Structure 1
């Protein structure tokens, strides 16, 4: 009977209740990777391309396909135990599928890393980089149900490097180097430096886990449990602006690093592409299904959903350089849609931040000052008009007093 330990499980099928409204966000559109969508007739077109990639991969190494299959066979039990559900594939089919999918990812990343490896008839690439099909396909690599364990990718590449026809073709190349190159150019989160990947790579189970580990490592360890945190009355960006809060972009190197100092709210810069919501949803669902002691990305989604309530909130963050140019209507709905999959706990990463902001908003003087600045001193001409009106009022009062005294 299959009984994997909880430590070995790292790839899950998204529960049906979570798929109801966003099934397409969890389902590959172009390519199946791993067993959970293997055999889907809608994804068969890429199976021929996997075979082409395998042929080119084998042409650069003296290691035979028989040896690769035997190597995976030795790891079969370990591979199966990475999945939270029993994989109903025979041994030969499972091992062959792992080889094809693993080599495809290795070859795809290698070609992105070293364009000289790209052949003329590769529909995934053009002379300038990824082609349209490649751009469409890359989003499938970040799906929770479309993951392969990193250890098998790394070990297969290392095995191929043991005997190559061209001795220097893999010089200085490891799975970590090509993954870092890919993440730097194509991941929707600009958080992964080579040093950070170097620290987390050996611990990571697969691509989503690597991203989460990098995000978590940028935050301090969680403090002791706090009192019950009230998720109500968290103000949106426009409401904060009305009470005098200013907005400033922080470095994008730590997406979670949101700070409030005096009256300035600093939020790390980010861009929202068409594929970002799908990527965020899979990252979020994996963090919440896996055995992490903290849920930092979950908490980031929650706080951003409160800042971005309406399109006017999104416009404000765009104007202040926090969000790359985009559709403000869509921006305001992405996080509100994602929050439905979030978990709320008292150990909220931004609890102290929200409490400080709420305390700031409660002081009437902040609203009065903001009202004066935004309505009466928002432009030089408005300021001059107000000052002139005050001077005129003072002169009128002075003249009246002088007239009374003269009587």
Structure 2
């Protein structure tokens, strides 16, 4: 017999047993978050600060933006790239100018075998049938692989009618679209398709091809990967690979304390006697260090351009959303926000060549000031650095030393005038001393 009760208004009957059964069904489902979840929709609290940094401009990759009508025109480009890829592989001798049905079947079978695993990378429901999901992974995966190969081996693979490499805007769109957290497919898919389509032209690993495609954050320095590195091999998608390429080359990830110390902005540090020096040998932009004996903050040269904010925002979102990800990039953003408070701080860092800014100074300043808003970070991977910097700033002698150098030793004539003043002071003292001494002798 169903148990029921009346609400306070007496207008509706509440079926308690039905509610209990419904709740029991929901609780009996698998509510454990998969350890493979690594592709997320950006939380509203993060996306609201700059939606354009999270949404694709032209190419939908993966299921989250697959049905966006504004992105449908580029599906033809993906199809062309798949056909270009198939045309280079051993073909059916009876149909040399058409795609090989056997190859398409082979690729489709390979992706079908792992489609359940691939779904496990996406957090949240995917409103796609299995056939459509496999078709999407196959087309998107082959497109990305062919794109990376064409970028690396341009003279051999790019034809005169290639829509991407003959239109600079599409290439710029892809630098943005392929780094978005919402716009990823599992690395597992890319790796399978890459191995199935290898030809003698392939001299680089898929990971290196991917990193060669994206502009480096380090000015005038391409990133070289160790493909055998455990960090690189465990990458779950392209954005994750990008993050691993930064952290695996950096020693910063070894430092971590549950404490935060604010440091002064660049102009304040400069006024406290700290100098900024560009570190041209660094392998990662994360490797900021402080040398107390010299009072020097050594910073790898960061290139700030149109896609830089997109890269950092999506890297930070990845760290915020993925379980057990160390917030190393987020800590870097916090440190940069400390250093850059006004446009004057940007100019100080530009003057010392630790920042190469291609944007408007005010835009670059705002970018750093709002980069990590609404993120949560409980670990500080720059604790030792900030502690040493603050300790140095508390010693007033460093400030006075800088003022002395700035005001009196900046030019040779200023230095000579200081020496002359010191000599005059010494002579005046000696003259006074001997005058007093002579007067004393006369009195005696």
Q: Normalising to structure 2: TM-score of the pair?
A: 0.81
The equivalent position to 1:219 in structure 2, one of 239, 251, 273, is 251
Q: Which residue of 1 aligns with 2:139?
A: 100
TM-aligned CA distance change 1:142 to 1:76, over 3 Å: same
Using the TM superposition, give the Cα deviation of residue 50 of structure 1 relative to its aligned residue in structure 2, in angstroms: 0.9
User: In the alignment, does 2:304 pair up with 1:272?
Assistant: yes
Q: Secondary structure at 1:64's aligned position in 2? A: helix
In 2, distance between residues paired with 1:265 and 1:314?
15
Comparing 32-41 with 370-379, greater Cα deviation is found at 370-379
Q: Which residue of 2 aligns with 1:238?
A: 267
In 1, distance between residues paired with 2:46 and 2:253?
30
Q: Which structure 2 residues correspond to residues 5-404 of structure 1 after superposition, within 5 A?
A: 6-61=34-89, 62=91, 63-115=102-154, 116-126=156-166, 131-161=168-198, 168-172=199-203, 174-183=205-214, 186-189=215-218, 192-195=223-226, 199-217=230-248, 218-219=250-251, 222=254, 226=257, 229-232=259-262, 234-250=263-279, 251-261=281-291, 262=293, 263-326=295-358, 327-345=360-378, 347-401=379-433
Using the TM superposition, give the Cα deviation of residue 273 of structure 1 relative to its aligned residue in structure 2, in angstroms: 0.9
Using the TM superposition, give the Cα deviation of residue 82 of structure 1 relative to its aligned residue in structure 2, in angstroms: 0.6
Comparing 236-245 with 369-378, greater Cα deviation is found at 369-378
| Stretches of structure 2 lacking an aligned partner (at least 5 in a row) | 1-28, 92-101, 440-444
Q: 1:265-317 deviations in whole A, cap 9, x for unaligned? A: 11111111121011111111112211235211111111111011111211111
Asked if the contact 1:272–1:324 (Cα under 8 Å) also holds between the matched residues in 2, the reply is yes
Using the TM superposition, give the Cα deviation of residue 399 of structure 1 relative to its aligned residue in structure 2, in angstroms: 4.3
TM-align CA RMSD = 2.4
Using the TM superposition, give the Cα deviation of residue 67 of structure 1 relative to its aligned residue in structure 2, in angstroms: 2.8
Q: Secondary structure at 1:257's aligned position in 2? A: coil
In 1, distance between residues paired with 2:361 and 2:426?
45
In 2, distance between residues paired with 1:216 and 1:396?
62
Q: Secondary structure at 1:94's aligned position in 2? A: helix
Q: 1:140-167 deviations in whole A, cap 9, x for unaligned? A: 1101111111111110122234xxxxxx
Q: Normalising to structure 1: TM-score of the pair?
A: 0.88
In 2, distance between residues paired with 1:47 and 1:362?
60
Using the TM superposition, give the Cα deviation of residue 367 of structure 1 relative to its aligned residue in structure 2, in angstroms: 1.6
Asked if the contact 1:191–1:215 (Cα under 8 Å) also holds between the matched residues in 2, the reply is no
Asked if the contact 2:64–2:183 (Cα under 8 Å) also holds between the matched residues in 1, the reply is yes
In 2, distance between residues paired with 1:4 and 1:34?
23
Comparing 324-333 with 394-403, greater Cα deviation is found at 394-403
Aligned length in residues: 392
Select the structure of larger CA radius of gyration. 2
TM-aligned CA distance change 1:287 to 1:362, over 3 Å: same
TM-aligned CA distance change 1:2 to 1:36, over 3 Å: farther
Q: 1:215-267 deviations in whole A, cap 9, x for unaligned? A: 333326646x74x52444x1111111112111111134122222111211111
Q: Which residue of 1 aligns with 2:96?
A: none
Q: Which residue of 2 aligns with 1:164?
A: none
In 1, distance between residues paired with 2:184 and 2:411?
54
Q: Secondary structure at 1:201's aligned position in 2? A: helix
